Amino acid sequence: MLRALPMKPARPTWSPVAATTKKKRPVAQSPGSLVHRGERRTPSIHIRLIRYNEEHSSETTFDTFPEEGLKTDGDFVTWLHFTGLHDVAELARIGGAFNISHLILEDILHTGSRSKIENHESEIFVVTKLVTIDEKENLIDVQHFSLLLLPGNTVLTFAESPTPAFDPVLERIRTSGGGRIRRFKADYLCWAILDMLVDNYLFVTDELDEAVIAMDERLQIDPAEVEVGELYALKRDINQFHRIIRPIREIAASLMRDNSSLTTVNSEPFFVDLHDHAIQAIEKTDDLRENSGSLREFYLSEMSNRMNEVMKVLTCFSTIFLPLTFIVGIYGMNFDNMPELSMRWAYPAVWGLFFVCAGGMFWLFRRMKWL
């Protein structure tokens, strides 16, 4: 989508995979039908199970969901992270093991579904987008992300493809002592994951801001060196990013006001902070939309001014040659009795008149600063 990453001269752009994930929903499909709608973004699924409390933490990975299922322990926070939404059968097994509604599973599988939050007494379900920057490919990658907070201190997360975005949260869990994340319950883990998402939004917003600044500098130096397609692409990317992150404010506000048994008093201030960061990210994208629109208007204005300058120069030179054309037209007439035609000095005199007229008009236009 945009501008240059600090270490690369080319601006990042949207992932071509993420840009082609939209697929039409089959007509008259039964609600709750488990059909993956989107691109297959990883060759195989990956399941990571993290369990922890204040004293202990453990981490296990699976290629398939265990046949016997998973037993949750209220004394431990259980986080199951599932990667690879294309495998409907595995996702259905997880849904059966945790008694997840087919309507929720349908939203998890549909990568084009809108971001939202559903608060129920027995679960809190969040659908949103995970936005990261792939520094190797210089791309802004967008993938579908879902989160479920369940009773028994259980959190389920679902992503389309592997990403290092969760590493900071995992490192905090792995750290001996662990801080708040090891002392608090599963709702705090939900906050930590969503806060990571919003921090990535802010990071991408900063990258977009630098892209706008870089584009503005190029326009100030020489607008002719900027192609109008670059401006339209930048504005389109900012608008697309704004549409992606806009629902996070509603999600954060709902969690801030949530009074269910799944959230605790200890986490309330953190959800308030999450809401503040969400508003900050949206306000920044609003500013970026205005700035990108201003860049486009400035570009069009500069191009119009340059065209006016060119037209003014051409008009001035046309005006200079107008009296010369008039003189040539007079002496081009085929009359017999034109006394100047028989004079020896007539031809150089006409040329002298040409130079006087042209030089005088050129001096006048320069004096008036038209040239």
Instruction: Specify whether 63 is located in the same domain as 182.
Output: yes
DSSP assignment, residue 367? H
Domain range for 352 is 308-367
Instruction: Specify whether 190 is located in the same domain as 314.
Output: no
What pLDDT, on a 0 to 100 scale, did the predictor assign at position 1?
Answer: 39
Domain boundary among 252, 273, 301: 301
Q: What distance in Å separates the CA atoms of residue 275 and residue 4, rounded to the nearest whole number?
A: 29
8 assigned to some structural domain: no
Instruction: Specify whether 137 is located in the same domain as 259.
Output: yes
DSSP string across 133-161: EETTTTEEEEEEEEEEEETTTEEEEEESS
Do you know the residue count of the chain? 371
Instruction: Specify whether 200 is located in the same domain as 53.
Output: yes
Instruction: Specify whether 261 is located in the same domain as 204.
Output: yes
What is the Rg, in whole angstroms, of the alpha carbon atoms belonging to the chain? 34
Q: What distance in Å separates the CA atoms of residue 337 and residue 334, rounded to the nearest whole number?
A: 9
b (16+ CB within 10 A) / e for 314-334 = eebeeebeebbeeeeeeeeee
Q: What distance in Å separates the CA atoms of residue 369 and residue 334, rounded to the nearest whole number?
A: 40
Q: What is the CATH number of the domain that holds 313?
A: 1.20.58.340
Instruction: Specify whether 274 is located in the same domain as 127.
Output: yes
2 assigned to some structural domain: no
DSSP string across 211-263: HHHHHHHHHHH-GGGS-HHHHHHHHHHHHHHHHHHTTHHHHHHHHHH--STTS
Instruction: Specify whether 164 is located in the same domain as 258.
Output: yes
What pLDDT, on a 0 to 100 scale, did the predictor assign at position 280?
Answer: 93
Q: What is the CATH number of the domain that holds 71?
A: 3.30.460.20
**Contact, 142 vs 18, CB < 8 A?**
yes
267 assigned to some structural domain: yes
Instruction: Specify whether 170 is located in the same domain as 281.
Output: yes
257 assigned to some structural domain: yes
What pLDDT, on a 0 to 100 scale, did the predictor assign at position 250?
Answer: 92
295 assigned to some structural domain: yes
Domain boundary among 301, 321, 348: 301
Count CB neighbours of 279 within 10 A. Answer: 14
What pLDDT, on a 0 to 100 scale, did the predictor assign at position 176?
Answer: 65
Instruction: Tell me the pairing of strands 116-119 and 124-134.
Output: antiparallel
Instruction: Tell me the pairing of strands 154-159 and 77-83.
Output: parallel
Instruction: Specify whether 362 is located in the same domain as 215.
Output: no
Question: Over its length of 371 residues, how does the chain's per-residue pLDDT go in tens digits?
Answer: 333 333 333 445 555 444 444 445 555 566 667 888 888 888 889 999 999 888 888 888 888 887 666 777 667 899 999 999 988 888 899 988 888 988 899 999 988 888 999 988 788 999 999 999 877 777 788 999 999 999 888 999 999 999 999 999 999 888 866 678 888 889 999 999 999 999 999 999 998 888 888 888 887 777 777 777 788 888 888 889 999 999 999 999 998 887 778 888 888 899 999 999 999 999 999 988 888 878 777 777 777 777 777 787 888 888 888 888 888 887 778 777 777 777 788 888 888 888 888 888 888 878 877 77
272 assigned to some structural domain: yes
Q: What distance in Å separates the CA atoms of residue 243 and residue 237, rounded to the nearest whole number?
A: 10
3 assigned to some structural domain: no
Instruction: Specify whether 228 is located in the same domain as 96.
Output: yes
Contact partners, residue 272, CB within 8 Å, separation at least 6: 256
Alpha helices in the chain, H assignment, sequence order: 88-97, 102-109, 167-174, 180-183, 186-221, 228-245, 248-257, 268-331, 346-367
What pLDDT, on a 0 to 100 scale, did the predictor assign at position 13?
Answer: 58
Instruction: Specify whether 97 is located in the same domain as 56.
Output: yes
User: Does the CA dihedral 78-41-136-295 come out positive or negative?
Assistant: negative
Contact partners, residue 9, CB within 8 Å, separation at least 6: none
Number of structural domains, the chain? Answer: 2
What pLDDT, on a 0 to 100 scale, did the predictor assign at position 2?
Answer: 39
Show the tokens assigned to 173.
Answer: 């869990």
DSSP assignment, residue 37? B
114 assigned to some structural domain: yes
List C-alpha distances in Å: 189 to 127, 170, 173, 329: 16, 10, 9, 90
Instruction: Specify whether 143 is located in the same domain as 201.
Output: yes
Q: What distance in Å separates the CA atoms of residue 159 and residue 275, rounded to the nearest whole number?
A: 23
Domain boundary among 248, 270, 301: 301
